[in-house]
Amino acid sequence: DGGITQSPKYLFRKEGQNVTLSCEQNLNHDAMYWYRQDPGQGLRLIYYSQIVNDFQKGDIAEGYSVSREKKESFPLTVTSAQKNPTAFYLCASSRVEGMAEKLFFGSGTQLSVL
């Protein structure tokens, strides 16, 4: 089945540690995104990539880094510079239909700080 796979489902980070969240898609979509969701809040864009080897900062990129070496993969690293990393992280890819960008999401990673 085609889809987006995020791993791990739950991740714990110690103070000062970098952690990497995995996102893989086999939908052949060019664009991929990382969002963060806090309880009772909407989705906030961290980074996005429209094509391989290119990515752009979203609204809350500080403390995060990404890479896009392959079309299928868009890993997110939460660095020690991100002082409040506890959140639900969602990866998405999209396809364009007409003028619309339709997003499809992975099942998410819940990151918590120990």
Partner 1 sequence: RKEVEQDPGPFNVPEGATVAFNCTYSNSASQSFFWYRQDCRKEPKLLMSVYSSGNEDGRFTAQLNRASQYISLLIRDSKLSDSATYLCVVNRRSGGYQKVTFGTGTKLQVIP
Between 16 and 42, CB nearer to partner 1: 42
Between 7 and 17, CB nearer to partner 1: 7
Q: Mind spelling out the 3-state secondary structure of the chain?
A: CCCEEEECCEEEECCCCCEEEEEEECCCCCEEEEEEECCCCCEEEEEEEEECCEEEECCCCCCEEECCCECCECCEEECCCCCCCCEEEEEEEEEEECCEEEEEECCCEEEEEC
Binding residues for partner 1, rule: CB under 8 A, are 33, 35, 40-43, 45, 48, 50, 56, 88, 90, 94, 96, 98-108, 110
Between 81 and 96, CB nearer to partner 1: 96
